Amino acid sequence: MDNSPLDNAILDSLSIGVYYVDADLKILRMNKAAQEITGYDIADLYGRSCEGNLLCRIEKTSEPLCAKNCPLKATLKDGVHREALAFIRNKAGDRIPVKAETKPVILNECIMGAVAILNHSDVADKTKDDLVDALTKTALTDPLTGVYNRSCFEGEANVILSKMLLNKNKYGIFFMDVDDFSHINNHYGHETGDRVLIETTRAITRSVRKADVFCRWGGEEFVGIFQVRSFEGLGTFGDKIIEAIRSVEINHDGEKIGVTASIGITGVKPEDTLDSVVKRADELMYNSKKTGKNKYTIG
């Protein structure tokens, strides 16, 4: 592209960040706002691929967006305008919240490249807080049920366990699997299966305290850590959870579908790691499953 002084002056007058990549994702243009947002000077990036350098949306694993579904790559391929809430990882390694857009640059009906637009100035004060909250929620929660995802739960639980010996609190772990979930999915459809998971999550949420931490472990499995005064209280907790789940009913074309679960519950021992105590609770859950379902087993 011809970087004329006037073109550069026009681009640099914009408060939003703009950079242009060619069909090979090589950066050929970058205005001052984009340089300020990213911390990169055009001299640092000119002629280099933007892959791994700039746009980094938070995922569960906190991996760069370009590792999976790069919006610039997609726009170069199909010519579709895209926009999203995103974090830009700047040169210093900090994440900056922005509204990000990608647009194709088309000449003679051919896609010659794409423009990335980074709007940081509008993501300020309350809007910025809302964006950070939204991105944080994406990183921490399960998109279907809204509770913690496995990765976040593991982090929270490890913090609790690390403090357990200091505060002398007692904790229990439960591992829960919704009974006959494959049958529900196959017989009533995945939409009904999703509703079962959502309503089961709500039932658990109503039954635990705010200080308790639980997550969707994966599929139809849920795991939680909760505080008890003594390990004798594990049964009381189990009664509360099992009854809450039994109260769930899903209406499907006039038919009421009941929900039950198999649960394993165990107390956390001083020598336990999160892996060891979750494994023990998982084994206890399978014992409940093998001995009739719709029950909890303590061990």
Cα separation of 139 and 96, whole Å?
Answer: 15
In Å, how far are 82, 121, 245, 249 from 254, measured between CA atoms?
41, 51, 20, 12
Element (H, E) at 139: helix 125-140
pTM, entire model: 0.58
Say how far apart CA 269 and CA 277 lie, in whole Å.
Answer: 8
To which H or E segment does residue 19 belong?
Answer: strand 17-22
Q: Which domains does the chain have, with CATH numbers?
A: 5-134 (3.30.450.20), 148-298 (3.30.70.270)
One digit per residue, pLDDT tens: the chain, 299 residues? 456 677 788 888 988 899 999 998 889 999 999 998 888 888 888 888 776 555 555 443 444 455 556 788 889 999 999 887 777 767 776 667 788 889 999 988 899 999 998 887 665 554 555 655 655 566 688 889 989 898 888 888 888 888 787 778 899 999 999 999 999 999 999 999 999 999 999 999 999 988 899 999 999 999 999 998 888 889 999 999 999 999 999 999 889 999 999 999 999 999 999 999 999 999 999 999 999 999 999 99
**DSSP assignment letter at 284:** H
CA distance 90 to 102: 18
Q: Largest Cα–Cα distance in the chain?
A: 78
The 3-state DSSP class for residue 279 equals: helix
Q: Which long-range contacts (CB under 8 A, 24 or more apart) does 40-45 make?
A: 40/90, 40/91, 44/91
Which segments of 51-149 are extended strands (E)? 82-89, 95-107, 110-119, 148-149
In which residue are the tokens 């040169």 written? 91
Instruction: Give the residue carrying structure tokens 């998982």.
Output: 282
The Cα 136–Cα 25 span in angstroms is: 28
Q: Which phi and psi (to 5°) does residue 30 adopt?
A: -160, 120
In this prediction, residue 274 carries a pLDDT of 93
